[in-house]
Amino acid sequence: MTTHHTRMLILGSGPAGLSAAIYGARAGMKPILVQGIQPGGQLMTTTDVENYPGFADVIQGPWLMEQMQKQAEHVGTTLMYDTIVAVDLSQRPFRLTGDSGDVYEGEVLIIATGAQAKWLGLDSEEALKGKGVSACATCDGFFYRGKKVAVIGGGNTAVEEALYLTNHSPDVTLIHRRGTLRAERILQERLFAHKGVTVLWNKEVDQFVDGGGNAGLVAIDLIDTVTGEKSRLDTEGGFVAIGHHPATELFRGHLKLDEDHYLWVETGSTRTSVPGVFACGDVMDKIYRQAVTAAGTGCMAALDAEKFLAEAEFELAEAAE
């Protein structure tokens, strides 16, 4: 077992964690970043990225994360391949234990563990991810300009995604397994008033249909949840919008969570309920969930953490005089 000590400890290696590392390293913090189960975050499973600023041509998600990782290392970040299994936030330095048995101590802690989209769990869904099946209309809707698309879900996320897709598609179908939506009333009113959206009630996805070759998704097979009747909806894009799981299990009982289990942060900052612990990216952002906003909050977390350390060290110096 080895103990690693740093002024700035970062947990998570997506755009938020790596951006925090870049800013922290440039400020002389010599951060240690523990990469976790999925190094690179959700962008490692994203093929075409067309909305990250600075690139005129379409880039690949894994390539973008590789570049961010190299940049973080170049400016002085130490990347550790480990998964944190226990945390002690009761005092500083904060103490985290890895699956390897190693211990990581940080004067400040930045949490960027992200969130995962919930999926239906179908084999056909897995096979067609990135080939017509997506969990982010804001990320991928642009690729379906003028095409027929469908959204699966009945909550706020699903309704918002369906309305967003009307910017690109003249034919949007919302598929919901019940007879009423769970979304807020005002969102429902907007949805029902939009002529470009059709709602299919009491329908569950049986499978996503692969057209073979390079065709990708061509249809969705449905089952009526009331009658059991089967039907097929021709579509070129299927967007699963049934919510997200923020990766906060490790921090339950240690940090304040909101009603949806995301890490709570002070409005306008990345400060959590424990002084010296900061959160950024999708683990605290349930609204935007974009790579560029994650990177932005990663920058904020590093600046907030740097300020916290400077103030703490000033107070310590004053007390010693």
Give the Cα separation of 284 and 265 in Å (integer).
Answer: 7
Q: Concatenate the DSSP letters of all residues of 41-69 into one string.
A: GGGGG--EE--STT-SS-EEHHHHHHHHH
Catalytic residue among 88, 99, 123, 140: 140
Q: Catalytic site residue 282?
A: no
- Is 221 exposed, middle or buried, given 0-12, 13-18 or 19+ CB atoms closer than 10 A? middle
Catalytic residue among 139, 280, 285, 304: 139
Stated as kind and residue range, the H or E segment containing 170 is: none
Q: Catalytic site residue 99?
A: no
Catalytic residue among 48, 102, 136, 299: 136
Token code pair at residue 172:
């949007």
Give yes or no for a contact between 241 and 161, defined as CB atoms under 8 angstroms apart: yes
Give the Cα separation of 280 and 268 in Å (integer).
Answer: 12
245: which residues sit within 8 A by CB, 6+ positions away? Answer: 115, 116, 117, 118
Strands 84-88 and 94-98: antiparallel
Q: Catalytic site residue 139?
A: yes
Among left, alpha and beta (phi > 0; psi -120 to 50; other), residue 253 is: left
| Amino acid making up residue 165 | L
CA-based Rg of the chain, rounded to a whole angstrom? Answer: 22
Catalytic residues, which ones?
136, 139-140
